[in-house]
Structure 1
Amino acid sequence: MPKTHISVYYSCYDTPLPADTFSRLVSVLPEDARPGIYRYRRWEDAHAALLGKHLLLYAFRRLHLDYTLADIRYTPYKRPYIKGAPDFNISHSGNIAVCAIAGKGYVGIDIEKPVPLHVEDFRQQFTPEEWDAIRNDPAAPEIFYRYWTRKEAVLKAAGTGLNEALHELNTIDDTVSYHQHTWQLNPVTIIPGYICHLASNEMDTVINTHAVSISELVSMYV
């Protein structure tokens, strides 16, 4: 059987965008989505929310699809989707936004920038097997984020999000049975200093990553 291709598009932003560029990208959003961008207190979060949406539009253009952000609908668990379109999922952390789009099936992605934390505070969020792996690995907090991103990727792909109890989802193996599907977990290398995992209910996948500059996103509207 042919492999299923999944594309992961990402943009990095180390400094705030020029005000006119930011406003231009906001103006492309559906009118009811614009106020939400300005509600974020941190500029990094506002940029992430904005750029994630434009990465999705960029992906559609690469695939020669005519869907727009106005076509997005939400499940009862607030998972975004577009009827008839390939499945997609967006994540962000630090100064990077990522968007995964699947050629087939469902996809979930989670990216995190490891920061120092009290791992013990999260004990109840992991299965005993995961917790043993975390506690016995000297690479903390990176190993914590390895399992956290694996969990998030599955929950986002399944569409349940964090509404489900994290400690009931065991991601110790690379294949996970959850929510009427078997999910394949794959690490995704984006840039150093970040940990990212992708979940798909397709078992034979090829993941292609694409760096997208801010200028490329802006040029879509020239």
Structure 2
Amino acid sequence: MKSIAVYYTGFFQMLPADCYNRYLQQLPVQMQEKNNRFVRWQDKMADLLGKMLLLKALRSFGYQAQSLQCLQFNENNRPYLNTQTDFNISHSGNYVACAITNGIRVGIDIEEIRPVQLYDFKHVMTTSQWHSIAIAEDPLREFYRAWTIKESVIKADGKGMSLPLTAIEFDKGNAYVGSLTWKLIEWGIDPGYAACMATDYQADDLHIEYYRYACHKLDV
């Protein structure tokens, strides 16, 4: 059975140091070292919680915590575990999300809806996509919807920015890149955010769960 699980969490301040460190120590040494190199507390929290969500996701699919030691990276630096289980992490603003799949390729993107100069991004949209943004009741929200669709497809595809954003068409729950079709799953993570997943197959089962990390709840 092809299944998808999405775990996501929100953070609005730094965890107390002892609590933070107890979470951090559950990660491999190299991940701890990377986390320690971040300067902003927001970046530290997003990185830590992304890894903790991944650890929870892997355990939910029957893997042990030691699986984090076995992560590999493709030529575009996309992490993966093996050919059967795929995962992807995204964070923006105060939210972090991790998608994990069985027998499916997945990409996930979340974006906080913040003011931008929309015209600066016209070149990454097709003519029809830009028209949809221009005539939308809320052009900013429609832009972020299109952006998360494109980013989720790029992340699922795994080729990074070598895949032009203008090469991605989408309509009625599907995205198209040449002869490839990606299934799209959009969900309301928060009124101030846009969120989308792209998969190469239709899932038989979808599970989405919010998980709150706190000092009294150190299990993953």
Scaled by the length of structure 2, the TM-score of the pair is: 0.91
Of 35, 39, 59, the residue aligned with 1:61 is 59
Of 5, 8, 18, the residue aligned with 2:16 is 18
Aligned equivalent of 1:47:
45
- 1:29 shift after superposition: 2.1
Of 7, 25, 28, the residue aligned with 1:27 is 25
2-side partners of 1:150 and 1:36: how far apart? Answer: 29
2-side partners of 1:138 and 1:82: how far apart? Answer: 42
1-side partners of 2:162 and 2:57: how far apart? Answer: 28
- The change in CA–CA distance for 1:83 and 1:206 in structure 2 (over 3 A counts) is closer
What do residues 88-121 of structure 1 show as CA deviations (whole Å, max 9, x unaligned)? 1100111111000112210111001100110001
Please list, as runs of the form range in 1=range in 2, the aligned pairs for 1:97-112 lying within 5 A after superposition: 97-112=96-111
Aligned equivalent of 2:149:
150
Please list, as runs of the form range in 1=range in 2, the aligned pairs for 1:119-134 lying within 5 A after superposition: 119-134=118-133
Q: Which amino acid aligns with 1:39?
A: R
- 1:11 shift after superposition: 1.1
2-side partners of 1:25 and 1:40: how far apart? Answer: 16
What do residues 56-94 of structure 1 show as CA deviations (whole Å, max 9, x unaligned)? 111122222225211111000111101255111100111
- Assess if the C-alpha contact under 8 Å between 1:77 and 1:161 holds in 2: yes
Percent of pairs with identical residues: 34
- Assess if the C-alpha contact under 8 Å between 1:129 and 1:172 holds in 2: no
> Secondary structure in 2 aligned to 1:78?
coil
Q: Which runs of 5+ in 1 are unaligned?
A: none
1-side partners of 2:219 and 2:104: how far apart? Answer: 30
2-side partners of 1:69 and 1:217: how far apart? Answer: 21
Aligned equivalent of 2:34:
36
2-side partners of 1:134 and 1:49: how far apart? Answer: 32
2-side partners of 1:39 and 1:138: how far apart? Answer: 42
Tell me the C-alpha RMSD between the 2 structures. Answer: 2.0
1-side partners of 2:191 and 2:211: how far apart? Answer: 17
- Assess if the C-alpha contact under 8 Å between 2:9 and 2:97 holds in 1: yes
Is 2:116 the counterpart of 1:114? no
1-side partners of 2:9 and 2:191: how far apart? Answer: 14
- 1:133 shift after superposition: 0.7
- Assess if the C-alpha contact under 8 Å between 1:190 and 1:209 holds in 2: no
Q: Which amino acid aligns with 2:39?
A: R
What do residues 113-145 of structure 1 show as CA deviations (whole Å, max 9, x unaligned)? 100110001111111111111111120211110
- Assess if the C-alpha contact under 8 Å between 1:153 and 1:198 holds in 2: yes
Q: Which amino acid aligns with 1:145?
A: Y
2-side partners of 1:18 and 1:152: how far apart? Answer: 33
Give the length in aligned residue pairs. Answer: 218
Q: Which amino acid aligns with 1:57?
A: L
Q: Which runs of 5+ in 2 are unaligned?
A: none
